[in-house]
Amino acid sequence: MRGTSRREAGLAAIEAAGIEAALADPDRPATVLDLVADVAAVYWLLGSATGTVENIEAIHGARLERLLEHLVETPVRRFVYEAVGSVDAALLARGAAAVRSASETWRIPVEILGEGAETGGRPINISKLR
């Protein structure tokens, strides 16, 4: 399992959880795509991401859409999107719609966390996803 952080400071916490840590920025999809050559599933757990309004809109909108377009050319066979958290609900709904569209267009198996019984609208404990 590999976990990513936008900043060096975040890598230690990932490693402490027993996960291989790597630098990648969801605002720059190429940094994520560089890491998926040997990955079967991508978890986009950014429902409580912080940053500028423009960056948050992008990682749940245009950047997410570009990433999904390129995943079809990789070994990734599952995409999980976190549609619950502190990010504006409208942005999370937009992201969920993009994920559903990618699934229909490119036959990418997807799961949308937060839509239904998975979380009951509560934050997700990532340790349960391992």
CATH at 63: 3.40.50.720
Q: Is residue 45 part of a domain?
A: yes
Can you give the pLDDT at residue 46? 95
Q: Is residue 10 part of a domain?
A: no
User: What is the per-residue pLDDT across 44-64, written as a single tens digit (0 to 9) for each?
Assistant: 999 999 999 999 999 999 999
CA pair distance 91, 108, nearest whole angstrom: 21
Sign of CA dihedral 42, 23, 67, 58: positive
Domain that holds residue 57: 24-129
User: Would you place residue 83 in the very low, low, confident or very high pLDDT band (cuts 50, 70, 90)?
Assistant: very high
3-state secondary structure of 110: strand
Candidates 94, 51, 35; CA nearest to 102 is 94
User: What is the per-residue pLDDT across 96-111, written as a single tens digit (0 to 9) for each?
Assistant: 999 999 999 999 999 9
Can you give the pLDDT at residue 116? 59
Can you give the pLDDT at residue 111? 95
Q: Is residue 9 part of a domain?
A: no
